[in-house]
Amino acid sequence: MKRTLMTLTIAAAVIALAAFTLKATNRSDSQSAERTQVARGAYLVAVAACDDCHTPLKMGPKGPEPDFSRRLSGHPAGLVMPPAPKLGTGAWMWSGAATNTAFAGPWGISYSKNLTPDKVTGIGIWDEAMFVKSIRTGRHWGVGRPILPPMPWQS
């Protein structure tokens, strides 16, 4: 009886340890996959220069610099822009706001989108397929209105 109880106890301990190890391995694999996906996103943001237009500029000691406290947040919601300057004649064909998040040209005025994962103001409800389709087609959500210049989606 004691031997059977001891065997069952050891078997239960081995099963529990195996389950814990499997769960820890799956968690580790999941965390590793997430780290890989985040690294890939950081790489794409860098090579596509997303910060250039989607991270507002602020005035620093040496002039305009990215405000990384608002990284990829797009055009500041509270910044109401005046009418765009008259363009199209002469050497100037387009202009940009001091934040580098609003642009005016022959197409009209465009504002940089919030690329953060915020579900209300950003692209947090988008899935990867929607994002890829948007970049490939030049259309909002991959099927909607055209993405305006200066977004270089054609590249």
* Terminal Cα distance for the chain, rounded: 75
Report the chain's mean pLDDT, rounded to a whole number: 83
pLDDT tier, 33 (very low <50, low <70, confident <90, very high otherwise) = confident
Contacts of 97 (CB under 8 A, 6+ apart): 75, 79, 81, 103
pLDDT digits (tens, 9 = 90+) for 101-141: 999 988 889 999 999 999 999 999 999 899 889 888 888 88
Helix (H) or strand (E) holding 2: helix 2-47
pLDDT of residue 15: 55
Residue 107's pLDDT is 86
Secondary structure tally for the chain: helices H, strands E = 3, 5
pTM above 0.85, yes or no: no
